[in-house]
Structure 1
Amino acid sequence: MEKPAQRPDIGDYLKLVACSAVMLQTILAFALTEHPSETHQFGIGIIYNLIKFTVPAFIFAILFTTSRLTMTPQITYGGYLKQQWHATFAPTILWTGVYLIVTPELQQVRHFHDLRTFLWQFINGNAAPHLWYNTMMMQFVILMPAFWFLAHWIHHRRGRARMVIGVTTLIYLGWLVFYDQQVFHGPHMHNWYLLDRVFISFLIYGVLGMLAWEFRLSANRIFRVWWPMICLLFLGSFYWTNQALFNFGYPVRLINAPYYKPSMMIYDLTVITLIAAFGIFQIDNQPKIAKVVHNLANYAYKAFLGNAFWIYLLWMGPGRSLTTRHLWIGIGLIYIGTWLLSFGSAFGLHVIWQQIRHLTKETAASPTHLHGIH
């Protein structure tokens, strides 16, 4: 019988799509540094908004799949953290070290200059353009017991689920208003910028991911039946997000397309729903493809961690000059190369890590012969 961890779920589709999309976000940001024409900036802005669902999709997927695999009285928090050490903590430490030591020029906001600032850059997500995502996602990994408690308290009671959704929505909307007024082009834009990576900024997606597993039959019915209506919401919210971005005029600055807007929240939830609906269709009707997606999704997190490193190498090689001359060809080729290198390195590091663990276990299990001195 197939183990639960080996079965595909909608979390696999969300993780794989989100990981693939986040690579393009970084490439688009690099392309804008070459000051393309306003027509090209418009295209970059449209595409950037189209794929501006990556973090919510990751959070929803993490909570959905982790709830599916850990919502059992047999697992302990210690055992769960031991699993996460191999899956998330160790790769994070490895790649953050690579960014700070090998490619320190990728640091954001400011650079380290001593041990204290090195450690601060190590944990705050500024070691590379995409690692602020990781700083925030790790908080959800650590806070998983709170979601276990919430799920056990709800325990399939729809009234309690509605209450949790209502309270979470109110808290989240209040947070969006606060962030919009105080941080996003507000008085604390520069000194409070780290608030964008505090878990509350994406809380609603984690709660809904947990509830999507807790009420999976109802959630799957919504995904299967309501996707045509969701498509209309998708189009409306996508227009809304683009209008908000281009109201700032030119040159296009991607910082003006934050996650912390009601328009972006609605857009992200519609994209998550549509990806989930597609995933359910494939799991039901194309199990072989679903298995491939599941296998790739197992490496999505590690591929995500390494993607900016490969983008930088490709950009500093032929990518920059090619993109300057032929914008879309350059972006396309860098993207393909980044995807292949990111997943290839993730798989390669996994194999190396497995070999190290295997050798370590063999060494620990082998008998030790002590020879006396004669």
Structure 2
Amino acid sequence: MQTKTTADVGDYMKVFACTAVIMQSVLAFGLQTSPNPRVQTGIGITYNLVKYTAPAFIFGILFTTVRTHERAHLGDYRQYLTQQLHSLFIPTFWWSLVYLLGLPSLQQVSHYHNLGSFIWQFINGNAAPHLWYNTMMLQFILLMPFFWWLSRWAVQSPRHLWGTLILTIVGYGGWLAFYDQQVFNGPHHWYLLDRLFVSFLIYGIFGALAWKKRRTLETFLQRYWPLLVGLFAVTFIWTNLELQAFGQPVRLANAIYYKPSTTLYALAVIGLIATLAWANIRHHSRWLPVMHGLATYAYRAYLANVFWLQLLWQTFGHRLSQTHPVWAIVSCYGLTWLLSFASAYGLHVGWSALKRWA
């Protein structure tokens, strides 16, 4: 049983996801310097290794929210939104402003030129390379009553549970086929589908159900985790073969979430993280309070990471990458991680003190 000071599976997902997404940002910066083919290949392999971040974060959010709102219903929705307003919406608002006004060169797809285009860049996640995720994730927050209801309904009987799982898997498989034919290998460039919650719905549903069926799932993972290691290895090789098939130069845009290989890889990683989390919980690991503390600031650290990375890259990273690209990536990654979590904690402490003083 988790207390307020120890971690749950969702906390582990958030910490692992945030730690990995910072590496994604650094790798993207490193690739922009056009390193030699060997380094590009290494960047592509490493990028595929950490290509589980959004699925793990969504899984973790739904797992923890269903755990902490076990008996929530529509009448609790207003209170829930008020809580999320302070922890998610307000930090997203301010960091989006920071990127748009302070670092406008980081905008994606297009740049704002008037008030209307400024608002568009703000709300669709184009303010910085990583903010597309906010637009998608916040949709899950708004739709939380649906997941509260579904998680309760699905576990009422085995028929409900298996029906939900089968419909989710088949439906998501259809979505992947649609995306492949119409977007990735098709005629359309619908980048906004990345921001649509449907693109990550399977991880939300699985996260909600994972808490409800936690005892069964924990027992399964404890017994069969070596199978997940095998799935992890096979799908990791699969994703890299797919990326290498595009040849040089390596383009990270070809390593997308919306493929069977990446989906299975993300689910394997999620399963392994859950296995580790439950093992730590069973053994009352000293890491539990640490992981819970890091998870508390993971989202705000995620928002800040590209800000700090940009400053570090302009200060020394870009110059170092000309002669030692691997050292540039490693050093910028470590410093970005530290600064992101330190600033998230510092801003929280400062804001709390300001509210008490006011």
State the 1:7 CA deviation. Answer: 3.4
State the 1:358 CA deviation. Answer: 2.4
Q: Which residue of 1 aligns with 2:344?
A: 346
- Aligned equivalents of 2:141 and 2:22: distance in 1? 22
| RMSD after superposition | 1.4
The question of 1:37 aligning with 2:36 is answered yes
State the 1:278 CA deviation. Answer: 0.9
State the 1:286 CA deviation. Answer: 4.3
Cα gap change, 1:156/1:288 in structure 2, threshold over 3 Å: closer, same or farther? farther
CA contact (8 A) 2:11 2:292 kept: yes
Q: Supply the AA of the counterpart residue of 1:272.
A: I
Q: Which residue of 2 aligns with 1:367?
A: none
- Aligned equivalents of 1:83 and 1:6: distance in 2? 19
State the 1:267 CA deviation. Answer: 0.4
Q: Supply the AA of the counterpart residue of 1:276.
A: A
The question of 1:258 aligning with 2:256 is answered yes
- Helix, strand or coil for the counterpart of 1:298? helix
1:307 to 301, 305, 308: 305
CA contact (8 A) 1:109 1:126 kept: yes
The question of 1:99 aligning with 2:85 is answered no
5+ long unaligned stretches in structure 1: 361-374
Q: Which residue of 1 aligns with 2:25?
A: 26
Q: Which residue of 2 aligns with 1:370?
A: none
State the 1:4 CA deviation. Answer: 4.6
State the 1:3 CA deviation. Answer: 7.8
Q: Supply the AA of the counterpart residue of 1:132.
A: W
State the 1:71 CA deviation. Answer: 2.0
Q: Which residue of 2 aligns with 1:141?
A: 141
Q: Supply the AA of the counterpart residue of 1:198.
A: L
Q: Which residue of 1 aligns with 2:198?
A: 200
- Kindly provide the CA deviation profile for residues 32-56 of structure 1, in whole angstroms up to 9, marking residues without a partner as x: 1111111111100100000000000
Q: Which residue of 2 aligns with 1:372?
A: none
Q: Supply the AA of the counterpart residue of 2:126.
A: N
- Aligned equivalents of 1:138 and 1:334: distance in 2? 29
Cα gap change, 1:56/1:171 in structure 2, threshold over 3 Å: closer, same or farther? same
State the 1:156 CA deviation. Answer: 4.3
- Helix, strand or coil for the counterpart of 2:110? coil
CA contact (8 A) 2:72 2:148 kept: no
- Aligned equivalents of 1:292 and 1:358: distance in 2? 26
The question of 1:172 aligning with 2:172 is answered yes
- Helix, strand or coil for the counterpart of 1:249? coil
- Kindly provide the CA deviation profile for residues 144-172 of structure 1, in whole angstroms up to 9, marking residues without a partner as x: 00001112222442221111111111111
- Aligned equivalents of 1:5 and 1:125: distance in 2? 32
Identity, % of aligned pairs? Answer: 51
Cα gap change, 1:49/1:73 in structure 2, threshold over 3 Å: closer, same or farther? closer
1:289 to 263, 277, 287: 287
Q: Supply the AA of the counterpart residue of 1:183.
A: V
Q: Supply the AA of the counterpart residue of 2:166.
A: G
Which aligned pairs between 1:173-188 and structure 2 lie closer than 5 A?
173-188=173-188
Which aligned pairs between 1:1-374 and structure 2 lie closer than 5 A?
4-73=3-72, 76-189=76-189, 192-360=190-358
Cα gap change, 1:321/1:228 in structure 2, threshold over 3 Å: closer, same or farther? same
Q: Supply the AA of the counterpart residue of 2:218.
A: N
State the 1:283 CA deviation. Answer: 1.8
Q: Supply the AA of the counterpart residue of 2:182.
A: Q
- Aligned equivalents of 2:78 and 2:123: distance in 1? 22
- Aligned equivalents of 1:214 and 1:266: distance in 2? 22
CA contact (8 A) 1:319 1:334 kept: yes
Q: For structure 1, which segment, 281-290 or 10-19, has the greater mean C-alpha deviation from structure 2 after superposition?
A: 281-290
- Aligned equivalents of 1:154 and 1:14: distance in 2? 23
Q: Supply the AA of the counterpart residue of 1:92.
A: T
Q: Which residue of 2 aligns with 1:364?
A: none
CA contact (8 A) 2:62 2:208 kept: yes
- Aligned equivalents of 1:3 and 1:285: distance in 2? 13
- Kindly provide the CA deviation profile for residues 65-87 of structure 1, in whole angstroms up to 9, marking residues without a partner as x: 01101122487000000110111
Q: Supply the AA of the counterpart residue of 1:292.
A: V
5+ long unaligned stretches in structure 2: none
- Aligned equivalents of 1:56 and 1:226: distance in 2? 22
- Aligned equivalents of 1:150 and 1:356: distance in 2? 40
Q: Supply the AA of the counterpart residue of 1:224.
A: Q
- Kindly provide the CA deviation profile for residues 227-256 of structure 1, in whole angstroms up to 9, marking residues without a partner as x: 111101111111111111110110000000
- Aligned equivalents of 1:160 and 1:6: distance in 2? 34
Structure 2-normalised TM-score?
Answer: 0.97
How many residues are treated as equivalent by the alignment?
Answer: 357
State the 1:193 CA deviation. Answer: 1.2
CA contact (8 A) 2:10 2:63 kept: yes
Larger radius of gyration: 1
- Aligned equivalents of 1:222 and 1:324: distance in 2? 48
CA contact (8 A) 1:5 1:69 kept: no
State the 1:356 CA deviation. Answer: 3.0
CA contact (8 A) 1:156 1:214 kept: no
- Helix, strand or coil for the counterpart of 1:316? helix
CA contact (8 A) 1:4 1:69 kept: no
